[in-house]
Amino acid sequence: MSETGLYVYGLVPRGALERAPDLPGVDSARPVELRCEGGICAIVSRVDLDRFDEEPLRERLADMDWVERTARRHQEVLDAVLAACTPIPMRLCTVYQDDAGLRRMLDEHQEGLLAALTELSGTLEWGVQAFHVPETPAAPPRPGGQPGETASGTAYLQTRLRQRHAAEHAEAEIARACEELHDALSGLALAARLGAPQRPEASGRDTPMVLNAVYLVANADRARFTQRTAQLGSALAPRGVALRLTGPWAPYSFVPAAVGGAR
């Protein structure tokens, strides 16, 4: 039989959960459990090390279908925790070779982890993505051709120049709209982060992403934040900006210190 290690989904304060979520882990044959040390409990499940140790894991991470399935199961476990408390989410495929290694990490970082859990308590992460939905530009007249059917070369160049100026103006307007959006939502959040816009193959949208932001929002302000996002989306639509709200998520982007990277 293969040796097993502990796959860690997240960390919560001791007593925040009455029991582990009643879910299978990333290995569907093994359930999710709690392992506690001091004032912190880790949400874990057992995995075979011949599949999750460093070398085999490197190969599996090259399989996007496997990564997607594992990430979905990882997120399902964390989502089951969010109703009870805000966890510190661990990075995908954080694995400890044995209980002793996990306990050692929890013991050595106890003070910082407890401070982080206190800071994040009662909050969740929300994502807002903005996309530019441009109007379809009119085709410029072609130079040359038969009189009455096409424009002169001068008219063609003037048209192209006007289109370029219009595109530059539209780009400036989109940047201004995104700045206004981010300022408004940051005012409702405890913290905010801007990320690089995603490419269309990652975002799933054909139109370009012009804002990719995450916000740490107090649970008490959840309705206000989501309603304001919807209002801003309606206001920005005539300016060629479409919004997508995602969440709530465990606060991946706002953990004060890097946690995980087992071994």
Residues whose CB is less than 8 angstroms from the CB of residue 51 and which lie 6 or more positions away in sequence, other chains included: 2, 27, 57, 60
Q: pLDDT for 167-201, tens place per residue?
A: 555 667 888 899 999 999 999 999 999 999 999 88
pLDDT digits (tens, 9 = 90+) for 18-65: 999 999 999 989 999 999 999 999 999 999 988 887 888 888 888 889
Determine the distance from the C-alpha atom of residue 109 to the mean position of all C-alpha atoms in its chain, rounded to a whole number.
25
CATH 3.10.660, applies to 124-251: no
- What pLDDT is attached to residue 137? 52
Handedness of CA 33, 59, 54, 67 (dihedral sign): negative
User: Which tokens hold the place of 14?
Assistant: 């001791």
DSSP structure class, residue 137: P
Q: Compute the distance between CA of residue 214 and CA of residue 192 in angstroms, rounded to an integer.
A: 6
Q: What is the pLDDT of residue 260?
A: 44
**What's the pLDDT at 161?**
67
SS (H, E, C) 95-127: EECCHHHHHHHHHHCHHHHHHHHHHHCCEEEEE
Q: What gap in Å lies between CA 5 and CA 9, rounded to an integer?
A: 13
Distance CA 47, CA 92 (A): 13
The token pair at 53 is 């140790």
Q: Where are the domains of the chain?
A: 4-121, 124-251
